[in-house]
Each structure stands twice: as structure tokens, then as C-alpha cells.
Structure 1
Amino acid sequence: MTEKPIPTEEQMAIIRSMGAANNRPQRSPVLKTPADYGMDYEDVFFPSLDGVPLEAWFIPADSEKLIICNHPLTMNRYGFPGHLDPWKQFAPIEVEFNNVYKALHDAGYNVLTYDMRNHGMSGEANGGVTGYGLLEWRDVAGAQLYVQGHEELKDMTVGLFNPCAGGNAAMVAMTKRPDLFTDIKAFVCPQPCSSHIALDEIAKLQGVGDFLEELDMEGRKAGGFPIAQQTPHHFAADVKVPMFIIQVRDDLWSRPEDVQTTFNLLTIEDKKLFWIDGTTTRFDGYNYFGENPEQMVAFFDAHMN
């Protein structure tokens, strides 16, 4: 019987750093606003389901259609400043979600986009711990309550653009509070992600791929959830609205079977999966619809007109 390897001190330093970063990621700044992309907008705010203050933008359009947007972990409603230190050490690519909002706005959609807890300019909660959706679902629910109680927004036709952990959070919210999502017409979700898959792949790149148990424990020490719980696989079956998922097929931080499993677990018949080829960089998937909005707009148009 082969003995389990023991990490060296150097490897343990990497493991501790990864465990902490995965559960308490560094905030990134909101560097640009919709105005930088030629759009009028309003600064708004509302509480999460559990009272955390969430900062948001509302980008008006001349229609009765609304897309509610959030973002992945480490990012915010602007995107991610991967062109700047220290964030480029994590991923050297700037993500610009305002390009997505511009495409939606130009297609006639109002946009409401918010920073989730512990991200951007929104409030700190749960000791700064993130949960791949297990805590952030309360923010998704808060956005729904804000729209449903807003005099001008409550009667609009609503869709969701929720990427990565923001998409996970929406699936958790649909499981825990399905009553809040009966009016949602379409759900676009770039790159939903399971924590244990991402950690395993990144750990291999960092030379600590044999130590997923140690990584899990370091995350628990940082106050986080067990990584086996941090996956949309437990919640995808409760999505009851048409859903469109995209994923970088050869993403170095993920595996195709992870997203394929999420897609297969969806019980709805009206679902679509698109693979992005020609890159191994996960963050290219976050910029994809900003640069290639046609499929996204067509999906929303088909379900919200």
C-alpha cells in the first residue's frame, strides 16, 4: 500500500495561501462605470436577504425588459483588473462586464448589476468568507426582492446574467426560495464552477496536486465550507427557467465534465450549452459575451419578447 505523501514546508505555504484565498479572496476595485462605455446609469443600493448592503448600478433603457447581473468570485460589477498589480498575479486579464451591459442596453434591455457581499463596494459579511454561492444566494434573493418591490421595475419582464459563482448563487437561491423566481424568463450562466474541481486543477499547476484534503482543511480553518459542498451540482435540478451555459472547453482551471454534469442535472428541457474553443484561459470565458454578444442577446430575445 502506497503511503500518502506529506507536504513539504514550501508546499504547505502554498496550500495555506490557496486555502485562505479560496475562502477570503482579496477585493478588487470598481475601476470603470457604465459612463465609460457611453451609458447613462444610476447608483442604487439595496439589502441582501439577510441585510448586507449591496451596491449596484441601474442602466435604463426604453423598454419593459430587465436583466439582473452579478459576477464571479474575486470580481465585481465592473469586472476584474487583471492588467494591474496585485490582481494580475492571479490572472493577467482585464474582465469588462460593462461590455456585456452595453450589448444588452443596445438590444433594448434595462440592466441592474450589483456587487455581491465581500466584493466590490458591497458590505462585508460572514467574517469575509465566501461560499461559491452558499452565502451569496442571499444577495441574489435580495436583488429579486428589490426589483419586485420597486415601483418602476416590478412589472418588467426579467432575466438573469449570473456568471460562475454568481450563477452558483442563483441556483442555490432558486432551491431555497423558489417563490422569488417564478417571474424569471431566462437565465444566462457563463462558467458555473465546482470548488473542488477548480482547486484540484490549480493545485496541480502549483505543484500541490496531491494535497486536496490539506487544501480543504486550510479552507475550513479560514472559516469556509467543505469544498465538496461548493458546487452547483447539488442545486441545478431546482432551476425551473430556460438556461444557457457557456464554458471554455480546455479551461486550465476546470474540466469539461464539471460543467457538463451541471448541464445534465438541469431538469428543464429548454437548456443550451456552448463550448468556447481556441483558448485555455478561463477569463476569456468571462469576456466572451462582451465581445460576442449575439448568442446571449438572441437567447434573451427568444424568451423575453
Structure 2
Amino acid sequence: MNINRIIKVSTAICFALIAVAAMAQNKAQESSQKEIKNTADAKTDEFIDGIAELMAYSARTPILRTPDQYGMAYEDIFFPAMDGVTLEGWFIAAKNSNKLIICNHPMPANRYGYPGHLEPWKNFGGFEVNFLPEYKILHDAGYNIIAYDMRNHGRSGAGNGGIVGHGIVEYRDVIGSLRYARSRTGTKDMKIALYSRCLGANSTFVAMEKYPEEFKNITAMIALQPSPPRAFVKTAMDNAKIPNGYELFDQALQRKTGYVLDDFRPVENSKADSIPTLVAQVKADFLMPFYYVEEIYNNISAKDKKLFWIEATDQRFQGYNYFGQNPKVMLEWFDTHFK
């Protein structure tokens, strides 16, 4: 074999080896990238599934405080929701008063509040939400109070397989509370107002839409932080920078509950609200943009309505403590409409 042929063969072998090495390197890179992608996909799935689980089933939290700790005598009560689910609560009586406020709560709280200062519930700011100071203020101002746990929360019964309907099944609890107040000895002739928070407010709007006759003689309402679930999801997915995150969440929620986000429509439901309503919201709420609440407020049919922004915090759950610490707006609203 002459020298030129040896050089050509050697060169060909070198190029072949380089090509094989390059292919091996590319496969290794592809494998590494695939592993990274799989890890990222797994983390994304875990993130989405965790939020979907909370929104599908909420969380039962303990009742850590009671009215007697704040100098209020009270009665443990229970009554049926419209569909028979047993709801538990408190009746706090005010002397020589015919004024009654019915209070419900956000998800995943209960009639007492939310133990966010304790593990494993520190995921909404790490502080406690306590409704008892509000009840004390209202009680001392001459208001009787019914405060109750919604289904699948606090000590109330389970309903709908434990699934949270973000108002589209919980409206039955709102109707149940009104019927209980109107049939109970001592409260059946009282003037009634509503204090509905988040999940409770969404549920009240649905109840108004389905059974407007139940709200004919309601004096007024405070709707604290009513919110479309889709607003929370969109904000979470945008912050996490997950492509198609909203759609992926919708699929995860549907697998767990049969519902999709468009099934929950507090913006549209709020049009059925024709009673005097104060809407209050943390304006800088980091969990969702304030304009969603503006939409709800603008859609309320009542001519007598007011929008109040809670300032100086971006913590949504601090909004639930606000009127217990700053009661002026709350008291003025109820006092004005009970006259």
C-alpha cells in the first residue's frame, strides 16, 4: 500500500472516530437535557397538583378560640344546609337587640379564623387570622351574631365528596343559615345583615342568583374579598412562568373534581346582588390583581354600594384581620343600614 493511500485511510478513520465521538456527545447532551426537562416537568406537575389539591379540597383547620375568651356568652348551634349537610356554629346574643349579622368565612378558614401562625398552615403569610375581635366589636355595638362553618370546613359536615365548589354548592349553606335564623326562637323576627368573606361572599352571590326571594328583607351586606378562583390561578402560573400553566391547572382540577375554572363565576353571579353592599379588598393583594374585585363590584346591581380598599399591606389574609383592628368603616356601614 503506497503512502498516499495510507494517509487517505488514516484520515477517513480519524473523521469516523470524530463523528462517532460527536454523536456520543450529542446523545449524552440530549440525555442530560431530557433528564433536566423531566425533572422540570415533574416539579411543574407537583406545583400545579399542589395548588389544584388545595382548591379542590381546601383544608380543615382547628377552631382555636371561642367567644367566651373575649367576654361574650355564646351558644353552640347546628342547623342543616339547604341540601341537609349539618353546619355548626355559634350564636352570640346581644342584650335588648333585634339586629342580627350572619357571618361566614374564607377558604380554608372557619368561624374562628385561620391558624396561620402554626404549622402546617403558615403558607398564607405566617400569621393568625382571628375573627373574634370583630365579633366582640359588633356584639358590643348591639349586634347579635351567627357565625358558622361552611361545609368541608371547621366542624361542619362533609358535602359533595369533600369537594369545594367555590360557591356553586356552598350557596346551600348560605340559604340554610338564613332559614335557620328565620325559624329560630329569639332570632326569627330580627333584622338581618350578612358579613360574607371570600368563599362565603362568592357563595352568597350564587345564592342570590338562584334564590333571590330569600334576600328580600336583608338589610345590608359586607362582601370581604370576593374573588374569582381563576384570578389566583392565573397569578400563580404567571409568577411561576409556567407555559400553558392555566390550561394545565384546569386539566388537573377537572381530573380531581369534574369542574373547570370557568364553572366558578362570581363576577357574573354578583349581578344578582341588589341589597346594599360594601365590598372590601386588599388593593395590593399579591395573590391576585385588584381589578378582578373591581369587576365584581361594578357588576353588583345594588344602587347603594361602596368599594373600600384596604391599604398598607400586600397580604391578602391581613385583609381578614382588618376590620377587627380598624372597625370604623364596618360599623358605619351596618349602623347606617340598620337605622
Same fold (TM over 0.5): yes
Structure 2 residue aligned with 1:15: 48
Which one of 264, 278, 288 corresponds to residue 312 of structure 2?
278
2:240 corresponds to 1:233: no
Which one of 77, 90, 99 corresponds to residue 44 of structure 1?
77
2:152 corresponds to 1:124: no
Give the letter for the 1:82 counterpart: G
Q: CA deviation at 1:203?
A: 3.0
4+ residue segments displaced more than 2 Å: 202-210
String of CA shifts for 1:37-87, please: whole Å, max 9, x gaps.
111100010000000000010000020000000000100000000000000
For the pair shown, the structure with the greater C-alpha radius of gyration is 2
Structure 2 residue aligned with 1:142: 176
Q: CA deviation at 1:106?
A: 0.9
Give the letter for the 1:20 counterpart: E
Deviates more, 1:225-234 or 1:243-252: 225-234
Rounded Cα–Cα distance in structure 2 between residues aligned with 1:134 and 1:215: 19
String of CA shifts for 1:189-236, please: whole Å, max 9, x gaps.
110000000112123344537411111111111115211222311211
Rounded Cα–Cα distance in structure 1 between residues aligned with 2:227 and 2:251: 20
Q: 1:38 to 1:224 in 2, by over 3 A?
A: farther
Deviates more, 1:70-79 or 1:220-229: 220-229
Which one of 103, 106, 130 corresponds to residue 69 of structure 1?
103
3-state SS, counterpart of residue 321 of structure 2? helix
Structure 1 residue aligned with 2:114: 80
3-state SS, counterpart of residue 263 of structure 1? helix
Q: Percent identity among equivalent residues?
A: 42
2:103 corresponds to 1:32: no
Rounded Cα–Cα distance in structure 2 between residues aligned with 1:209 and 1:116: 35
The TM-score with structure 1 as length reference comes to: 0.95
Structure 1 residue aligned with 2:326: 292
3-state SS, counterpart of residue 245 of structure 1? strand
2:213 corresponds to 1:213: no
Rounded Cα–Cα distance in structure 2 between residues aligned with 1:89 and 1:265: 32
Q: Which has the higher helix share?
A: 2
The TM-score with structure 2 as length reference comes to: 0.86
| Contact 1:52–1:117 under 8 Å retained in 2 | yes
Which one of 167, 181, 194 corresponds to residue 160 of structure 1?
194
| Contact 1:200–1:209 under 8 Å retained in 2 | no
Q: 1:202 to 1:93 in 2, by over 3 A?
A: farther
Rounded Cα–Cα distance in structure 1 between residues aligned with 2:328 and 2:69: 22
| Structure 2 gaps, min length 5 | 1-36
| Contact 1:131–1:224 under 8 Å retained in 2 | no
Give the letter for the 1:185 counterpart: T
Which one of 27, 40, 59 corresponds to residue 92 of structure 2?
59
Q: Which has the higher contact order (CA 8 A, sep 6+)?
A: 1
2:233 corresponds to 1:199: yes
Rounded Cα–Cα distance in structure 2 between residues aligned with 1:283 and 1:105: 23
Rounded Cα–Cα distance in structure 1 between residues aligned with 2:151 and 2:322: 25
Rounded Cα–Cα distance in structure 1 between residues aligned with 2:236 and 2:245: 12
How large is the RMSD of aligned CA atoms in angstroms? Answer: 1.5
Which one of 292, 302, 321 corresponds to residue 258 of structure 1?
292
Q: 1:209 to 1:151 in 2, by over 3 A?
A: farther
| Contact 1:15–1:208 under 8 Å retained in 2 | no
Deviates more, 1:44-53 or 1:93-102: 93-102
